[in-house]
Amino acid sequence: MITKVELQNFMSFGARQAVSLQGITVLVGANNSGKSNFLRFPSFFQAQAKQGVDQRMGRFDDDFRRPARDPSEPLVLEWEVNGPDGLRYTLEVQRVGLLGGWKSLESCRVSGQELYRGHGGVIAAGTPAPGGAIFQGYTFGGAQWGGVAVDSLRHRDGANPPGWPARLVDPVMSARRVHLSLEALRNDGVPGNVELEESGNGLAATVATWRGNDPDAAEEYDRLVSTMIPELKRVLVTFVDGKARLCFEQKDGEFFDAHQVSDGVVTFAGLIAQALEAPANGLVLLEEPERCIHPARLEAFVDVLRRLVVDRKIQFILATHSPKLLSLFRDEPESIQTFVRGKNGTVVRCLADRADLRETLERAHPGDLLADGVFNSEEL
Amino acid sequence: MKVGVASENNNYDAIVYAHILRKLIGVPVEPYIPQGMSFNGCNAVAKLAPTFLSRCLQAGVRNAILAVDNDGGSQRRLEHADDHALPATYDESTECRVCWLHGSITTSWVVGNGRCSLVVPVQTLETWLLVARGQPPEPPVGRPEGYFGRAALKRRLFGKGTLPPMADRCAVAIDALESPYALDRLRERHSFMRFEAGVRDWIA
């Protein structure tokens, strides 16, 4: 599980911000405060790992904070995972010269000791950090790390370097950002080698694949969806012009296809499918999951997420504007992160650390404070 | 026996209260929650109490409990006592939500007509569960139980990190209530004794 993410000069983030994460973390703040930008840190890492940072940054520098506070300052992405050794990855990207070009620096630390450092060049396999050592049995044998070498971290062919501490990279490399679109969720699809996209496109094909090849997944999917929507029995597919179309079977025996059911039902179906597609120990980032969902059913939705945290060790980050959803975490103030757009970029503070709100929170739910705009204050 | 339960969480508090009632009364208790009703905190319970009780009656349910955390995580509110005055409206200075909620109960549900509702006088439900498990919060000098606030109590009961799903929480709670000396331990708390006395009135 990722316990902390730090960002500097990344999109709306300017001065370095540390965001602690729990099994479920809820991000709140006004529009344009930086919540969605935060949710993009995994896709930034994935892109630079797949393409190489020079290629990624060479074409456009949208990921850099604009305007830069200081052009010499690097963009920093750092995260730490749980465990006794404080395993931590850091990526720094810096502009080189006035005409563009980028220099990257990646490092990995264990228990505060540098395990590896790469300057965007090709590092020989198993090369220890300058002055460092291969630490606590971790090796980089058979692969390279840094710059071009990060290509070898691609997940699609399972090419993780042997011995690489997968718990550091895997959650971010396989993270799923979810920003559902009702139109995409209702799209028909062809079963097979299909990817469930962040918009929900591919849902029908994914369900068809489960139904055909993975009955356990289909059964789990039905169970979770019907937990949230008790009147539903199963999610099926029908075939229209050779393409799969979502079909919902109710407990009363009636069937409705994706175009006949409510937006809320399709949204639930999409959210649960996204969570099930995440690998164990994976990270799922949900943008405004409350959209189209009746407030009274948000509790069941959050309960499903809690179940997945316990059973599959999946970690969730939710960006929300829903007072009701936020109040479901009133007893976990350490799980709530408040986002504000300050003069030097996004400022993030954990609700548990907001001494200015402690007294208020004794009288009101966090959701009440969200509805009243209390979290929008720049005076942190 | 069906008992209407107006509590913060229909899938946890209501089930735990039903279990406590079963232990006190000795017969299975099924929590009744009018369809579509949920109560997001003490204000919601107070506001919806008349509707809730009315729907209970329509469903033939003649016993009900209204349950909110009396302290809300605060270190200021007092534990409920029998000699508290019943305020007509909520006033922070009274510092007792139990008294306040009593004021929101429809008269016919207070005095009889074969029906009865009861406001649960617990500071937080987790206080009772920790007591039942033999891990009561340390009593701070001059403070009522529940001093530590909701979040800390829940962490102490369920462990650190993200709270488990409701079914797991219920299992932890019921396990605590089924511990050998649970009722004996609970009967050492004034709040539980008041609750039990109210439930005995139902049976009588």
Distance from CA of A217 to the nearest CA of B (A): 20
**Which of the four pLDDT bands, split at 50, 70 and 90, describes residue A139?**
very low
What pLDDT score was predicted for residue B198? 85
Give phi and psi for B35, each to the nearest 5: -55, 135
Closest-CA residue of chain A to B35: A296
Q: Is B91 on the interface with A (CB under 8 A)?
A: no
Distance from CA of B149 to the nearest CA of A (A): 9
Closest-CA residue of chain A to B124: A331
Token digits of residue A358: 């402690």
Chain A neighbors of B167, CB-CB under 8 A: 307
Do residues B40 and A327 make contact, with C-beta atoms less than 8 angstroms apart? yes
Chain B neighbors of A301, CB-CB under 8 A: none
Residue percentage of chain A with pLDDT more than 90: 51
- A243-250 vs B116-119, strand pairing mode: unpaired
Chain B neighbors of A367, CB-CB under 8 A: 40
Do residues B15 and B170 make contact, with C-beta atoms less than 8 angstroms apart? yes
Chain B neighbors of A299, CB-CB under 8 A: 9, 11, 38
Q: Is B97 on the interface with A (CB under 8 A)?
A: no
**Which of the four pLDDT bands, split at 50, 70 and 90, describes residue A201?**
very high
* A105 beta partners: A92
**Which of the four pLDDT bands, split at 50, 70 and 90, describes residue A117?**
low
Torsional class of A192: left (φ above 0), alpha (ψ -120 to 50), beta (otherwise): left
Distance from CA of A23 to the nearest CA of B (A): 5
Average pLDDT over all residues of chain B: 80
- A327, B40: Cβ pair inside 8 Å? yes
| A15-25 mean pLDDT | 96
What pLDDT score was predicted for residue B70? 66
- B76, A362: Cβ pair inside 8 Å? yes
Lowest mean per-residue pLDDT among A80-84, A350-354, B182-186:
A80-84
Nearest CB partner across the interface for B162, out of A296, A299, A309: A309
Distance from CA of A241 to the nearest CA of B (A): 40
Average pLDDT over all residues of chain A: 81
The length of chain B, given as a count of residues: 204
Which residue has better confidence, A319 or A86? A319
- A24, B150: Cβ pair inside 8 Å? no
Nearest CB partner across the interface for B161, out of A23, A304, A307: A23
**Which of the four pLDDT bands, split at 50, 70 and 90, describes residue A147?**
very low
Q: Is B108 on the interface with A (CB under 8 A)?
A: no
Residue percentage of chain B with pLDDT more than 90: 31
* A316 beta partners: A24, A284
Inter-CA distances, A302 with A298, B136, B140, B162, Å:
6, 29, 34, 11
Looking at chain A from residue 16 to 75, which residues have their Cβ under 8 Å from any Cβ of chain B?
Answer: 22-24
| A298-318 mean pLDDT | 94
**Which of the four pLDDT bands, split at 50, 70 and 90, describes residue B56?**
very high
Query: What's the angle, vertex CA B176, arms to CA B171 and CA B178, rounded to 5?
Result: 95
- Which of A40-49, A97-106, B87-96 has maximum average pLDDT? A40-49
Which residue has better confidence, A304 or A159? A304
Lowest mean per-residue pLDDT among A71-85, A100-114, A353-367, B169-183:
A100-114
B-interface mutation test, from A354, A362, A370, most B Cβ less than 10 A away: A362
What pLDDT score was predicted for residue A220? 94
Q: Is B59 on the interface with A (CB under 8 A)?
A: no
Q: What is the pLDDT of residues B113-161, one digit of tens each?
A: 667 778 777 778 888 899 899 887 665 544 444 456 778 888 889 998 9
Closest-CA residue of chain B to A298: B38
Give phi and psi for A78, each to the nearest 5: -140, 140
Within 8 A by CB and 6+ apart from B81, the residues are B96, B190
The DSSP secondary-structure symbol of A355 reads: G
What pLDDT score was predicted for residue A133? 31
**Which of the four pLDDT bands, split at 50, 70 and 90, describes residue B175?**
very high
- A17-20 vs A24-29, strand pairing mode: unpaired
Q: What is the pLDDT of residues A325-362, one digit of tens each?
A: 999 999 999 999 999 998 889 999 999 999 888 878 87
What pLDDT score was predicted for residue A155? 29
Nearest CB partner across the interface for B162, out of A335, A361, A367: A335
**Which of the four pLDDT bands, split at 50, 70 and 90, describes residue A27?**
very high
| A4-23 mean pLDDT | 95
**Which of the four pLDDT bands, split at 50, 70 and 90, describes residue A288?**
very high
Q: Is A103 on the interface with B (CB under 8 A)?
A: no
* A5 beta partners: A19, A79
Distance from CA of A101 to the nearest CA of B (A): 43
Looking at chain A from residue 252 to 311, which residues have their Cβ under 8 Å from any Cβ of chain B?
Answer: 296, 299, 303-304, 306-307, 309-310
What pLDDT score was predicted for residue B86? 57
Q: What is the pLDDT of residues A221-267, one digit of tens each?
A: 999 999 889 899 999 999 998 899 999 999 999 999 999 999 999 99
Chain A neighbors of B166, CB-CB under 8 A: 303, 306
Q: Is B165 on the interface with A (CB under 8 A)?
A: yes
Lowest mean per-residue pLDDT among A55-59, A139-143, A278-282, A319-323:
A139-143
**Which of the four pLDDT bands, split at 50, 70 and 90, describes residue A323?**
very high
What pLDDT score was predicted for residue A161? 41
Chain A neighbors of B164, CB-CB under 8 A: 306, 310
Q: What is the pLDDT of residues B23-42, one digit of tens each?
A: 999 999 999 998 878 787 77
Distance from CA of B162 to the nearest CA of A (A): 5
A372 pLDDT more than 60:
yes
Cα distance between residue A8 and residue A29, in whole Å = 19
- A299, B9: Cβ pair inside 8 Å? yes
Residue percentage of chain A with pLDDT more than 70: 77
Token pair 């009656």 is found at B57
| A96-108 mean pLDDT | 67
Sequence letter at residue B103 = G
User: Pick from B126, B121, B138, B124: which is nearest to B81 by CA?
Assistant: B121
A127 pLDDT more than 70:
no
A97 pLDDT more than 90:
no
Nearest CB partner across the interface for A310, out of B9, B150, B165: B165
Q: Is B150 on the interface with A (CB under 8 A)?
A: yes
Closest-CA residue of chain B to A360: B74
Nearest CB partner across the interface for B165, out of A307, A335, A365: A307
What pLDDT score was predicted for residue A60? 52
Closest-CA residue of chain B to A352: B151
User: How many pairs of residues across A and B have Cβ atoms under 8 Å apart?
Assistant: 52
Q: How far apart are the first and last CA of chain A?
A: 28
